[in-house]
Amino acid sequence: MTAEPTRIERPAKGSITSQLGRGAPDYLKGLNEEQREAVLTTEGPLLVLAGAGTGKTRVLTTRIAHILTSRLAWPSEILSVTFTNKAAREMKERIGVLVGSGVEGMPWLGTFHSIGARILRRHAELVGLKPDFTILDSDDQIRLIKQLLEVANIDEKRWPAKQFAGMLDGWKNRGLLPRDVPAADLSYFANGRAPDLYQQYQDRLATLNATDFGDLLLLCIGLFRDHPDVLAEYHKRFKYILVDEYQDSNVAQYLWLRLLAQGKPAPEANLCVVGDDDQSIYGWRGAEVDNILRFEKDFPGAKVIRLERNYRSTSNILAAASHLIAHNEGRLGKTLQTDVGEAGDLVGVTSVWDSEEEARQIGEEIEQFQRQGDELNSMAILVRASHQMREFEERFITLGLSYRVIGGPRFYERKEVRDALAYLRLVANPTDDLAFERIINTPKRGLGDSTLKILFDTARHQRIPLFNAVRMLIETEELKPKQRTTLRDLAAQFDNWAERGRTIDHAELAQQVLDESGYTEMWQLDKSPDSAGRLENLKELVRSMEGFENLAGFLEHVSLVMERDTGAGEDAVSIMTLHSAKGLEFKTVFLPGWEEGLFPSQRTLDEGGRAGLEEERRLAYVGLTRARKRLRVFLAQNRRIHGLWQSAIPSRFLDELPAEAVEVKDTGSSYGGYGYGGRNANRFDTRDPFDSVYETPGWQRARAQSGQRKSAGPLTIDGDLVARSVDDGRGSAYDLGQRVFHLKFGYGRVDAIEGNKLTIEFEKAGRKKVLDSFIQKG
């Protein structure tokens, strides 16, 4: 089957091969010592540990160019694997610059899945398929699973198809066939019926002559194991194997590569993997950092070359990143050294009162840098969770700053937010047909196409809004009793919400609408990886309503926000999650939300333990190393969590930054702040609390007296006690049931007392826990 490889075409004038014999080839010029060694070490297993900004892509492409121009292999004898189509295109373009048209003879340069599909199409019959098999997308996969659940009499509401699709993906990423599913996974779906459903799913795929994305590698693994002659053919074909971003490989990808690399004994295998164990941040989707950590064990005698010369960031930024990541135990170890030639600004750590002030401070700094001549395109805000984006979007619209959201839609354009807004629009305006169409069957209410057709036809013929058509049809016999009951209940719900909206706060109404409609529950039952983020976005939406006088004002604001668009070529600040930022770089980077529970994520810690913490720390490392010149870290002292204001604790990662590379800033927005003698003391909170931007006479007097009063008990400013963050044993000056006043939350009554912490039922803001030093008697 293996044809004689086609000879490389004669390169164009000025290409690499035309320059051989005139000294060292051009592609080696400009490489540092470690990069050059990685390029020239062509034989045997090689692990290139490439730190952030150390030129790993250049090493990979130059290595391929060297193999080709040295005539060590033909283009068709090189297997080069990437994780994304974008990375594959970029690599092909770069190699083309070095070797000319020879790159066109590299059919085995691509992603894991594209190469897996190519192999399967050549041997389809051996895995029970035909060469023209179809690759299902996620929608087709969900539809097929729903059919199987229906045949098996499994309640899809209780056991959603999306949940099973996620389990299938997880099993296939781990290289598990139906018979291999571990017993621990059996109870997670349909009372132990998961393996049978998995087998039925695979049988159905075979009948349809189809695969899903997981099969593209899983079936290849089976092909190689069951047909040694086929595997031997690929051993002979591939003289060199190169893998990019090896730290992101999952178990199936690892097994696939191991089988292909076994053509020679381990010490002689020409397998080169490039990656950074410190940037393995995709464990939630199956990536196994252990794959790169055990490379030397898998391939005894493997050479390890560390690329530690960073061409991106200043020494202070690298010092912060290196000091932080050194706290991880599961790593091979390397220390980045800057090649930029300057220490640069210290890493800024700024404490603010809440997320609103966080957005204001960052917006002001961006405007300042812009006035100094920096482009907005050179600045980025990297958040841990997508729900953090809304505050920045709102602030930038107010300031007139252009921004773009990378890796996902803007906040108000997200599916779950648009669905929720449709409910609220319909409460405010029952004639809003577009909103009605969006929510009529979201969540599912058992209204089929025939019911909807009757509904739409009635509205069109009578020239009335859809909601009026509903009211007509529930009083007649056109619809079946079940559908009439469903629509009658839905109409009653909206009438009830509209009535309640006249007496209760609009944010509270929104929460009730989402809960009573079943929309919140729909996402709670959804087991897809993004469901938790969608729930957080819904909570953030409700929170965002509190700044508006009524529902109508909020909806008008949203309409104006959604009208704004940023052109593709416009100079704009980038807003994205830390996961989306991998591989990117910016002159100035802002990292908001460095608080315990948010970053590191409490959910990740609960589910992953120490491994989860180390992945969160790697994510912090990725964020730090995106910055070239300036890096600003922010933390809020108060954060809204699950609808309630809570005092936030500084992220443990802050204490892992080196003090000599960090400048701590205080916005002066709070009296006590973090750790100013408080229970959550952090080593960055060493500044005098009165060394602040406030310049009022009372504040100046307090600052002047602070050195004389430090041992004289709590400090007062014009008679007001500065906020304490701990109980000093004095008890509380307030009584249960006493009426009190808070500057931000208004009037309320004391409901519980815990030392100097009061739980207060505020008349407008609801139940809050606050320090008594912020309270006045009402």
Q: Can you spell out the DSSP letters for 455-518? A: HHHHHHHHT--HHHHHHHHTTSSSS-HHHHHHHHHHHHHHHHHHHHTTTS-HHHHHHHHHHHTT
Alpha carbon distance 24, 717 (integer Å): 73
Q: Can you spell out the DSSP letters for 556-582? A: HHHHHHHH----TTS--EEEEETGGGT
What letter would DSSP give residue 728? Answer: -
Residue position matching structure tokens 């050549």: 122
Alpha carbon distance 346, 362 (integer Å): 17
Question: Which candidate in 35, 202, 279, 486 is catalytic?
Answer: 279
757 included as an active-site residue: no
What are the C-alpha distances in Å from 667 to residues 371, 380, 412, 434, 673?
21, 21, 30, 45, 10
Question: Which candidate in 56, 360, 395, 629 is catalytic?
Answer: 56
Residue position matching structure tokens 């729903």: 146
Alpha carbon distance 408, 93 (integer Å): 27
User: Phi and psi for 610 in degrees, rounded to 5?
Assistant: -65, -40
What letter would DSSP give residue 411? Answer: G
What letter would DSSP give residue 601? Answer: B
Alpha helices in 77-160 (DSSP H): 85-99, 112-122, 138-151
Count of helix runs (H) and strand runs (E) in the chain: 27, 26
Alpha carbon distance 515, 754 (integer Å): 32
Three-state secondary structure call for residue 163:
helix
What are the C-alpha distances in Å from 229 to residues 268, 293, 383?
21, 31, 50
Question: Which candidate in 77, 169, 245, 391 is catalytic?
Answer: 245
56 included as an active-site residue: yes
CB 624 within 8 A of CB 605: no
Sign of the dihedral through C-alpha 352, 355, 357, 360 = positive
Three-state secondary structure call for residue 218:
helix
Sign of the dihedral through C-alpha 50, 51, 54, 57 = positive
Amino acid identity for residue 270 in this structure: N
Q: Nearest CA to 282 among 598, 606, 615?
A: 615
457 included as an active-site residue: no
What are the C-alpha distances in Å from 342 to residues 317, 629, 660?
11, 9, 15
Alpha carbon distance 758, 736 (integer Å): 9
Query: Cα–Cα–Cα angle for 282, 288, 290, nearest 5°?
Result: 135
Alpha carbon distance 509, 507 (integer Å): 5
CB 466 within 8 A of CB 459: yes
Question: Which candidate in 34, 215, 244, 357 is catalytic?
Answer: 244
CB 584 within 8 A of CB 626: yes
Bin 523: left if φ > 0, else alpha if -120 < ψ < 50, else beta: alpha
Q: Can you spell out the DSSP letters for 283-352? A: GGGT--THHHHTHHHHSTT-EEEEE-EESSS-HHHHHHHHHHHTT-SSS-----EE-S----SPEEEEEE
Cα-atom radius of gyration of the chain, to the nearest Å?
Answer: 30
CB 270 within 8 A of CB 299: no
276 included as an active-site residue: no
Q: Is the backbone peptide bond immediately before 600 cis, with ω within 30 degrees of 0?
A: yes
Question: Which candidate in 42, 57, 262, 646 is catalytic?
Answer: 57
Amino acid identity for residue 376 in this structure: L
CA 164 to the chain's CA centroid: 22
Question: Which candidate in 63, 410, 534, 626 is catalytic?
Answer: 626
Residues that are catalytic: 56-57, 244-245, 279, 626
